[in-house]
Chain A
């Protein structure tokens, strides 16, 4: 399982775009990159997943450079409710594969 490195914490303001970068230098050819969000006292929630280039959904975008050794989660126009911990995971994610969580990034949105 590829190890990931993320900033421990970040602060931003409401209405700003927030970019959280994750390093995964040992990513394998069959690995996917997945981001989860976790609010206090709740289970993690899937945000976005990608393999290469750019992926966008209704809540976020994921940018993955050609070498795939890093990825950036982009949250457009954040609000106070986006305050949470964000986890970057790298794994093949074959069905029934276990997930190992890194330390995550604690994002704090200020008014």
Chain B
């Protein structure tokens, strides 16, 4: 199946700094990628839809100026958490939809990035 990677897998930063998380589709092209956030013992919460070559679409309640999304190519989307605070500490997961689908309509998820803001 298609593979989605994320980098870094884990990051610790100081409050007030910015952190960039990369999401790559390794063996397929993705015009659309999705970013989720997951707090401990909770479900995944969709943050935004990342569209290649255009602005991201943010879900209600997600601050677009705080969570900057750039989808510069068909295989790379980045999420930048600006001026991070401890409440931004979470598990961030991306997903992508393969261009040439197999028999199922499925999205492929990255392994996630654990962000800890001190």
Known: A95-B97, A96-B31, A96-B97. A44 touches B105 (CB 8 A): no
Q: Which residues of B sit under 8 angstroms from A95, Cβ to Cβ?
A: 32, 97, 101, 105
Q: Which residues of A contact B46 (CB under 8 A)?
A: 98-101
B28 CB within 8 Å of chain A:
no
Number of interface residues of B (CB under 8 A): 26
What is the bound-complex CA distance between A95 and B36, given in angstroms? 18
Query: A residues within 8 A CB of B112?
Result: 41-43
Picked from A43, A46, A99, the residue with its CB within 8 Å of the CB of B111 is: A43
Could you tell me if B43 and A99 are in contact, using CB atoms closer than 8 angstroms? Answer: no
Q: Are A46 and B104 in contact (CB-based, < 8 A)?
A: yes
Closest A residue to B51 by beta carbon equals A96
Which residues of chain A are within 8 angstroms of B106 by Cβ–Cβ distance? 34, 46, 49, 93
Contact between chains at A49 and B104 (CB < 8 Å): yes
A-B contact count (CB 8 A): 60
Give the secondary structure class of B's interface: strand
Q: With A101-B44, A104-B43 known to touch, is A43 a contact of B105 (CB < 8 Å)?
A: no
Which residues of chain B are near A63, meaning CB under 8 Å? Answer: none
B67 at the interface (CB under 8 A from A): no
Within 8 A of B (CB), among A25-51: 32, 34, 36, 38, 41-46, 49
Rounded to whole Å, the gap between the CB of A41 and the closest CB of chain B is: 6
List the A residue with the shortest CB-CB distance to B59: A98
- B79 an interface residue at 8 Å Cβ cutoff? no
With A46-B104, A46-B106, A49-B104 already in contact, the answer to whether A41 and B49 are too (CB < 8 A) is no
27 A-B residue pairs with CB within 8 Å: A34-B105, A41-B91, A41-B112, A42-B111, A42-B112, A43-B93, A43-B95, A43-B111, A43-B112, A44-B93, A44-B109, A46-B106, A46-B107, A46-B108, A87-B43, A93-B106, A94-B105, A95-B97, A95-B105, A96-B97, A97-B97, A98-B49, A99-B95, A101-B44, A101-B45, A101-B46, A103-B43
Chain A interfacial positions (CB closer than 8 Å to B) = 32, 34, 36, 38, 41-46, 49, 87, 93-104
